Amino acid sequence: MENQKPLLPALKGIFFVTGTDTEVGKTWVSCRLLERAREAGLSCYGLKPVAAGCEQTGEGWRNDDALQLMAASSVKLPYETVNPVALKAPIAPHIAAQQEGRVITLARLAGYVRGALNAHKADLILIEGAGGWRVPLNDREMLAGLARELELPVIQVVGMKLGCINHALLTAEAIEKDGLRYAGTMANTFDGNMAVQEENLLTLRQHLPGAFAIV
């Protein structure tokens, strides 16, 4: 069958991971890629620079996505390095920050990530975004600016559901218009009951640039 799920590639390099939407499996896919790298004997870790939706623990505010990335990584980093901006409410980051009286700036966020990248080398590093590509950090800046600032190739996670073709093609177009390399697509088939899923996968494969994998 043309759209079978082959073994995921063992990637090397630094990538920014975005998605067609929130809750499309960015963290799940990122963890699978990190686990695949570990299986191949590669060093790896994931970062979640901004996370909205945290719970209070004995060690402070913690986000489940960031904790999952830490568990899947071979390079063990402090939580504050993995998730330097932890916001309480599970809502758009700029609104969550406003509710807490905080301001997220691109310069500060890029500084956090550069510090981690300079201090901790690895064969594979995944920097996971929040929500989709056009998520605001504040009134003027977008989270996509972090990928631009660091000049990172971008992996898009597509949540396979009705409407995903439009979302995926628009996101890929925006990434390329922002001057970044579209590294590839991870099609997350989380909905086993999706109508004409195979046809949707074929359409995405035909229209999106870069590598294409199904998970």
Rounded Cα distance between 54 and 93, Å, is 12
Residue 203 is labelled as binding a ligand:
no
Give SS3 for 164. Answer: helix
Residue 193 is labelled as binding a ligand:
no
Is 76 designated active site? no
| Marked catalytic residue, from 5, 12, 26, 48 | 48
Residue 131 is labelled as binding a ligand:
yes
Which DSSP string corresponds to 174-209?
HHHHTT--EEEEEEE---TT-TTHHHHHHHHHHHS-
Rounded Cα distance between 69 and 66, Å, is 5
Place of tokens 């628009």: 170
Residue 55 is labelled as binding a ligand:
no
CB-based contact 35:72 (threshold 8 Å)? yes
CB-based contact 196:164 (threshold 8 Å)? no
Residue 171 is labelled as binding a ligand:
no
Rounded Cα distance between 119 and 124, Å, is 14
Residue 168 is labelled as binding a ligand:
no
Residue 189 is labelled as binding a ligand:
yes
Residue 188 is labelled as binding a ligand:
yes
Q: Which parts are annotated binding residues for ATP?
A: 65, 128-131, 188-189
**Residues tagged active-site:** 48
Q: Which parts are annotated binding residues for Mg(2+)?
A: 27, 65, 128
Q: Which parts are annotated binding residues?
A: 27, 65, 128-131, 188-189
